[in-house]
Chain A
Amino acid sequence: MEAGGVGLHSGVPVQIRLLPAPVSTGIVFVRTDLDRFEIPASWRHVARVSYATSLMRQGVLISTTEHLLSVLYSMGIDNAYIEIDNLEVPILDGSGLPFVRLIEQAGIRQYRRKRRYLRIRRPICVEDKGKRISILPAESFRLTCDTDYPAPVGRQSLELDVTPASYAAEIAFARTFGWESDLDQMRNMGLIRGASLENAVCFTPAGVLNPGGLRAPDECCRHKAPTSSAIWPCSAACCSATSSPNAPDTPCTPPWWRASCRTPRSTKS
């Protein structure tokens, strides 16, 4: 499958192409503009997670990977090459839904080789400036997200058993978002050069600037749940478990866990 657009933060034009990969490959980005340099989607390569989740290997960057990786993990895709001709994944409409639709059209091949799975054995929690992410042992993958943003967003909550179907229906459509009052500051930081009302929701104290409004009343929480919680990073963890001394020699999937995240009142998303 192929897609093209601009990078949310860089504003650069970019094309990506998803290709099948052999068993045990994991998710691997391939910079076609840099002699096909490969960057595995591994937690070991996470470079910067402020406003975007970036991967870097030997100084080569892939930025804003969180939407696409969240989609791949949630749709059960363990192996794929992602060819990309620039440094940032295209933002498309600001959500993961275009990726979901394109993958559905392309189809998913199941390999005969059985998966390995990563099971969380005891609770883990990280807190920072009022934000908290926890992963708890569970019998299924259940996601809980609580957010509290300034008006007009306010408090929102989401609790969901994550499956490919529930992700596609309940999560994928939710777009990235920000506040009009933050735009100048973010642009001065070299961010959101590719942002527009076509690929992001923009709030003012009075409401939403986007002509079409919100796709759901709690769109912000639905967007933050998979990208700021643990869906993609744990996927990346499993892919990179291959290089851990006690880990298997193939990528694996985390089936049993419950992830929760809480975001405090701030316009910084």
Chain B
Amino acid sequence: MHAALVARIMQDPSFYEILTFDQLASRVTQALVS
């Protein structure tokens, strides 16, 4: 079942996004400030 879950995620790019380390750091900073 978990394999089906991951297959659903990976077959639909709207479920996820790929972030670089810098993008991730920026989001964390924003989350902490807000």
A residues neighboring B (CB under 8 Å): 43, 46, 49, 53, 114-122, 124-126, 128, 131, 133, 135, 139, 228-230, 233-234, 236-237, 240-241, 244, 246-248, 252, 255, 261
B21–A49 touching, CB < 8 Å: no
Which of A43, A115, A240 gathers most chain B CB within 10 Å? A43
Smallest CB–CB gap between B24 and chain A, Å?
Answer: 5
The A-contacting residues of B in range 9-34, CB under 8 angstroms, are: 9-10, 13-22, 24, 31
B6–A236 touching, CB < 8 Å: yes
A246–B13 touching, CB < 8 Å: yes
A126–B17 touching, CB < 8 Å: no
* Cα of A212 to Cα of B22 in the assembled complex, Å: 48
| Consensus secondary structure, chain B interface | helix
A244–B10 touching, CB < 8 Å: yes
B22–A114 touching, CB < 8 Å: yes
B3–A46 touching, CB < 8 Å: yes
Complex: chain A residue closest to B28, CB-CB: A139
Q: Given the known A-B contacts A116-B19, A117-B21, A131-B1, are A122 and B6 also in contact in the complex, defined by CB atoms under 8 Å?
A: no
B1–A122 touching, CB < 8 Å: no
The 3 closest A-B pairs by CB, nearest first: A114-B21, A233-B6, A46-B3
* Cα of A88 to Cα of B7 in the assembled complex, Å: 23
B2–A237 touching, CB < 8 Å: no
Which of B2, B4, B14, B22 gathers most chain A CB within 10 Å? B2
